[in-house]
Structure formats: structure tokens, C-alpha cells
Structure 1
Amino acid sequence: MGGGWLAALGGYLFTYWNSKAVEERKARIERINRQLREFYGPLLACVTATKSAYNAMVKQHSPDATRSGFQKALSQDPEGPTAVAFRQWMSKVLQPLNERAAQIATDNVDLLEGSTIEPLLLQLVAHVYANRVILERWSQGDFKSFSVISYPNAIVSFVQKEFALMKKKQADLLGTSTMSRL
């Protein structure tokens, strides 16, 4: 009778710690799944689409198909064809995508990794809100107004990197990371 209770205690402790480890792993997997589904995935889609749309707009409407030529045309003739196209793209394509990206960022800030908010995300939100004022001014005929808060171009790389990191963590937790390399 002397060693039986010790074996039972050992079995209980093993079961307790194993169950706890399984639950913690499940919680980590669920968090990463939420991060990918609700934050990094949708944000990556928005910022990538914004970049592609902006590049297409520049290629299509710049006098020399370059970004610098596009910006020069905007500043030299705020009512010219390049500027008209820019305002259309901003109101119908770029701003809606940016609005969605800013909403994803603000609604899901709890899904960020770490204890600070990435400055690129804060700049994106500020850019979006500043553009609301610019779009309003354009609707009133003030075509010389442009936002002083620039779009954070580096956000695409940041979100791509974070998305890839989350996918790796997900694969590691699911035990599929080595299988995907075979």
C-alpha cells in the first residue's frame, strides 16, 4: 500500500500537466488562427490591392508612366487629366481600400504581436482620416488640397513579413512545417 498512492499522485500530476499543456497549445493555435483570419490576412489583402491599384493608376495616367512624373503632373495642373483621374481613383478605389485597412487595424489591435502598436499602422490610420478631409475639399471644388500625411508604403512589406511569421507559427503548432518542405 506504500507506493500505490505515490503512483496515483504521479499519474494525476502527469494528467494535469499534460491537459494544461494541450489546452495552452489549443489556445495558441486559436489565437494565431484569429490573427490570420481577422487581422493579418485581410490587412495583407487590402494593402496589397492598394499598392497594385496605385501602381496601375500611375502607369495608366502618368505622362511618362512613372511615379515622379505622375506627382509632377498633379502638382503642375491640379485640374488637368492626371489630377482628374487621381481624384477618381482616390474616391472609388484607393480610399475605400485604405478605409477597410484602417478599420481592420483599429478593430483588431488586440491581435497584434507584442506590446506596442506598429507606427506604420498608426500612420495608415492617420493618412485615411486626413484623406477624408481632402476628399471633402475636392467635393467642394478645392483641387489644390492634398494630404500632408503620406501613405506608409513600407506597410506592405511589414504586413507580408508578419503574415509569413504567423503562417510559420501556425504550421509549427499544427506540426505541418516539416511536411510542407518535403
Structure 2
Amino acid sequence: MPVLRYRRGILLACLLALAVNLGAQDLTVVLLRHAERQSLFDADSPLAEAGLRRAQALVPLLEGFRPAVLFTSDLRRTQQTLAPLAAKLGMVPLVRSKDGSEALAAELLRDHRGRTVIVCWHHDLVKKVARGLGVKGPLPYWTLDTYDRLWIVRVPAQGAVSLEERIQEPSAPAAAGAAQGR
């Protein structure tokens, strides 16, 4: 019997260590703004032609991150921006309220550790998501016509959260049409 108790104790210790390691995993969040929209005056404006071209051009870049989950806001332009990627990957984006930036960040931290997640959001709210994920210090500024950036936020199991900004570098047709969608 003492040997059996000893083995159970070792098994229990191993399972506990495994559970701790599973809970302490890194999270990578790729944040991007929706592509060019038709109108600044329509709260739920769909994408302009330039935005539709950008959405297509983003597929190779974004699929390279091998996302486990896609998130968009409840507005059409974010959903249209990730639609080509979602179709290519056979995924259905999870839709969250545009007004819930902090809640989205909390959900990512709580439910998506150990994964890479892509979030298509809004230029004026993406900073709230980044701050909710734990990004400290100054954040890059995006103007109303900044559509070509993305942030990679890395939330390690231990240590400081980091933010890397990248230029999307869309294909030539998307870049050529970008001036039309501003």
C-alpha cells in the first residue's frame, strides 16, 4: 500500500504541475484596424473598394500568424476586413460589441492563453484593447487615414507585455486604391 500511495502522490504532483503550466501560457494578439471604409459619416459604413482590396491582400500576412481565433466588432467594416481570412481558414470570427474594448481584452487574457488571436477593431479603440492586455508606455498614433498598421501584443506567462508595430505592406492594387477610400 505505501508504494501505491507514493505512485498516486507522484501522479497527483505531475498533474498539478501540468495544470499550472497550462494556465501559465503566453498569449499573442494581433490587433489591426478595419480597412478603408466608404464614409466617415456613417457609423456602420461598409468597406470602400480600396478596403475590400486591402482585406484580400491581408490574407497571406495574417494567415502567417496561424491564428486560433478571430475577433471583430459588431460593425460591418471589421467583419468585412477579416472575411477573406476567415473564409481561407474556414473560421467564423467571434463578434463583440465595439463598446466592449476592455471586456474583449479581459476575455482574451482569461480564455485564450497559449493561442494567437487576431482582433480587427477601430482606430480610436484599439488602444483600449492594448492597455487592457497590459501594454505600458506610449502607444503609436494612428490618424483617421491610417489603415496600414498592425500591432503584435505579446503577453508572456511571466514578465512584461510587449507591443510591436508593423506596416501591413498590402499588395500593389490595395495600395494604389487606398487614396480613394480615405
Structure 1 length normalisation: TM-score?
A: 0.29
More helix by share: 1
Structure 2 length normalisation: TM-score?
A: 0.29
